[in-house]
Amino acid sequence: MTDEPTLREAADDSDFRIGAAIDPDALRSDPSYWRTASNEFNAVTPENALKMGPLRPSRDTYDFGDADAVVDFGDRNDMYVRGHVLVWHNQKPDWFQAWDYTDDQLREFLREHVHTVAGRYHGRIDAWDVVNEAVADDGSMRDTVWYDALGEDYLADAFRWADEVSDADLYYNDYGADAINEKSDAIYDLLERLLDRGAPIDGVGLQMHALGDHPDPDSVAENIRRFQDLGLDVQITEMDVAFHADDPPANPDKVQAEFYRDVIAACRDAGCDTVVTWGVHDASTWLRTFRDFSDRFTGDPLLFDDRYDEKPAYDAVKGALRD
């Protein structure tokens, strides 16, 4: 029997949150999944259950069963709970067609959705990703149903609506902006504009899907600091580390572990205290099922392998927390 602390214990001792995205079906059906999630992580987020599509099976119906399961799990295990996501252009309900609504009706539809979902979890969810991925890869505003109808105002409105019914911290969340680059520059400018207009934004989530080409940890730290200079908290919200399937490194476990360690160290050095991995173990990664990603990237991006055994990345993260 080992006396080694768990990852969760190392995080708790370091006043740090290390989390995972949670699948409610796996919670219900797989004791090893439940045990690993509860023993090794002190933060959770529903992977899909709070997205509009899964949450709304029909126009007038909400199904909170899966979302409640994850939030209840977090409550029972004294975890920090991140809500993901209130406003996004993807994973909308199949029945939703934008042309059925006028612009004013779309605004009311979105307001009602934010009020209903965020309001339900008042006092139970600690942080919300209010708006997700509103900026395109080239730094322009993403052309979405919400932007087409309401313009940039929809972002400020979404944060205000969430603030009206929730006591959680409110985040803007996006991918591909982890380091200093064209997209993170555009997100910085966007959040600065929204803050100047009085939008109640508390933080920014940097997803950190490190797929193939990995960002420079020093640039990640610099990026974190400049958002903090706007008065925003910064969290790493969806981290996983994979490689190009046709050109992986000679020792992928070692390279993966080093990158996890370097990001945790850079994050802590810059004053970021939360990193959430996008899944509990490799068998549950989205990379194995999402479109053509299973062909493009390696499918073992997390801290635990398919059998829930600790990988070198696990030890690297724990070592970075101890340091």
Distance (Å, whole) CA 283 – CA 301: 10
Parallel, antiparallel or unpaired: strands 17-22 and 127-132: unpaired
At 266-302, the pLDDT tens digits run 999 999 999 999 999 999 999 999 988 889 999 999 9
At 6-65, the pLDDT tens digits run 999 999 999 999 999 999 999 999 999 999 999 999 999 999 999 999 999 999 999 999
pLDDT for residue 212 is more than 60 = yes
Q: Is 133 part of the annotated catalytic residue set?
A: yes
Active-site choice (47, 108, 182, 238) = 238
User: What does pLDDT average to over the chain?
Assistant: 97
Parallel, antiparallel or unpaired: strands 17-22 and 274-277: parallel
Tell whether 223 is covered by a domain: yes
Tokens of 258: 């080093």
Tokens of 49: 């259950």
In the prediction, which pLDDT does 1 show? 45
Tell whether 132 is covered by a domain: yes
Q: Average pLDDT in the 160-166 region? A: 98
Q: Is the bond leading into 85 cis (omega within 30 degrees of zero)? A: yes
Tell whether 2 is covered by a domain: no
> Residue 113: which domain range?
7-322
Distance (Å, whole) CA 84 – CA 107: 20
Tell whether 12 is covered by a domain: yes
Q: What is the CATH number of the domain that holds 157?
A: 3.20.20.80
Tell whether 122 is covered by a domain: yes
Tokens of 61: 């119906």
Tell whether 291 is covered by a domain: yes
At 52-102, the pLDDT tens digits run 999 999 999 999 999 999 999 999 999 999 999 999 999 999 999 999 999
Do the Cβ atoms of 128 and 162 come closer than 8 Å?
A: yes
How many domains is the chain partitioned into structurally?
Answer: 1
Distance (Å, whole) CA 286 – CA 278: 8
Report the share of the chain in percent with pLDDT over 90: 97
Tell whether 1 is covered by a domain: no
Active-site choice (40, 133, 164, 222) = 133
Q: Is 238 part of the annotated catalytic residue set?
A: yes
In the prediction, which pLDDT does 2 show? 58
Tokens of 182: 């064209």
Tokens of 73: 């799990």
